[in-house]
A and B are shown apart, each in its own frame.
Chain A
Amino acid sequence: MLELRLVQGSLLKKVLEAIKDLVTDANFDCSATGFSLQAMDSSHVALVALLLRSEGFEHYRCDRNISMGMNLNNMSKMLKCAGNDDIITIKGDDGSDTITFMFESPTQDKIADFEMKLMDIDSEHLGIPEAEYHAIVRMPSAEFSRICKDLSSIGDTVVISVTKEGVKFSTRGDIGAANIVLRQNTTVDKPEEATIIEMNEPVSLTFALRYMNSFTKATPLSSMVTISLSSELPVVVEYKIAEMGYVRFYLAPKIEE
């Protein structure tokens, strides 16, 4: 028996919009810790990890650990039928091959049930250890989205370099080249407008902009994004979900042969 009641149902809608273009099918795992997902894109160079902690739900009942395979496009279709202010409850029965999404309007005058078929998905679960990163950049998520969009009109890849001068996003294409440098800026009115650069050592890595642009679909989830860079590891682009958890995207860098 599974029953997860999320008062701020719009969060789940936003999560699906953030990941459905990157991943087609995925297993959602439900445990005492929370509702989580780990899945790779079809080419296995990017990975998304989602966690919605159990404490973030108004009601959280998960009698045993369960993994439920879902087609994210179908799930998104169903969640789009929920209003932005609706309370969403996810319900499942042991051994059932379906899951039910219940949408309640804030005034309780409209209640809808959407039943979705589950699917068997054979997926590998990777252990992602805590790591020391060469540099961690925390910046407004809308700014990061803007930079990725702007650069993708010039080139296909972005070089992200962190030095003591700041963080530089560079691209090059047939029509020319572009460089955008952000300096640390903590003297802003609101904390969500700050750019904070922690650098242990300089780092410069190249990534496909197509993936970066896909990650920025998570922008509505958080005003800030954290980009963790290390020359030995995939980049981590993290959007925190207020009081609930996170969506983290991992992307393998492009390496010069």
Chain B
Amino acid sequence: PCLQRKISDYFEGD
């Protein structure tokens, strides 16, 4: 089973 995080988990909103 693989987990894929969302892009917003890596980068913060401006």
Contact = CB atoms under 8 A, between A and B. Distances in A.
Interface string A154-178: 0001000000000000000000000
A126 B8 contact: yes
Contact of A40 (B1, B2, B5, B7): B7
A126 B6 contact: no
A19 to B, nearest CB: 15
Contacts, number: 55
A116 to B, nearest CB: 27
B8 A255 contact: no
Nearest to B2: A254
A44 B2 contact: no
A43 B6 CA distance: 8
B2 A256 contact: yes
Interface in A220-250: 233-234, 250
A225 B14 CA distance: 27
B8 A44 contact: yes
Give the interface residue-count category, chain B: 10 to 19
Contacts of A124: 8, 13
Interface in A25-59: 40, 43-47
Contacts of A208: 4
Interface residues of A, number: 24
Contact of B7 (A46, A254, A256, A257): A46
Nearest to A253: B4
A126 to B, nearest CB: 4
B7 A47 contact: yes
A126 B11 contact: yes
Nearest to A45: B4
A188 interface: no
Given A250-B7, A254-B2, 13 more contacts: A45-B4, A45-B6, A45-B7, A47-B7, A124-B8, A126-B8, A126-B12, A126-B14, A234-B7, A252-B4, A252-B5, A255-B5, A256-B3
Interface of A: 40, 43-47, 124-129, 157, 206, 208, 233-234, 250, 252-257
